[in-house]
Amino acid sequence: MEQAQNPYQGRELLSWVVDEFERYERGPIWYAAMILLGMGLLLYAVVTQNFLFAVIILMFAVIIGLSSLREPQKLLFAVTSHGIGIGTRFFHFKEFGSFWILYEPPHVKKTR
């Protein structure tokens, strides 16, 4: 993979590529349970004549369905001498109250 050029301000100290969000693998049992739960809540909303609740359930189902079809984008995350860059956004250090990077040895790659 070719190294991306630093689009952020300052000298790049550390950078890596991350997924936009963590994607969870869900099996057919999860989808079946969610469909049954959604249908049950939708039936309850109609029986109690709570149509706003029905609309909210339908909106929630559409959002979950569309988000499960979308693949996460790869974002450049960089620590520079002036701040933090994530994707197309840049945050100056003065915008942070505090910032740290967690070091968890079993999951860390050492590069030199």
Both tokens assigned to 45 = 């909303």
Residues 79/14, Cβ–Cβ less than 8 Å: yes
- Amino acid (1-letter code) at residue 44: Y
Q: What is the C-alpha separation between 9 and 29, in angstroms, rounded?
A: 47
Closest by alpha carbon to 57, among 23, 34, 28?
34
109 vs 111: CA distance, rounded Å: 6
Reported as a pLDDT band with limits 50, 70 and 90, residue 3 is: very low
Q: How confident is the model at residue 109 (pLDDT cuts 50, 70, 90)?
A: low
**For the segment 55-107, what is each residue's pLDDT rounded down to a tens digit?**
999 999 999 888 888 888 888 888 888 888 888 888 888 888 877 767 677 76
Judge if pTM exceeds 0.85: no
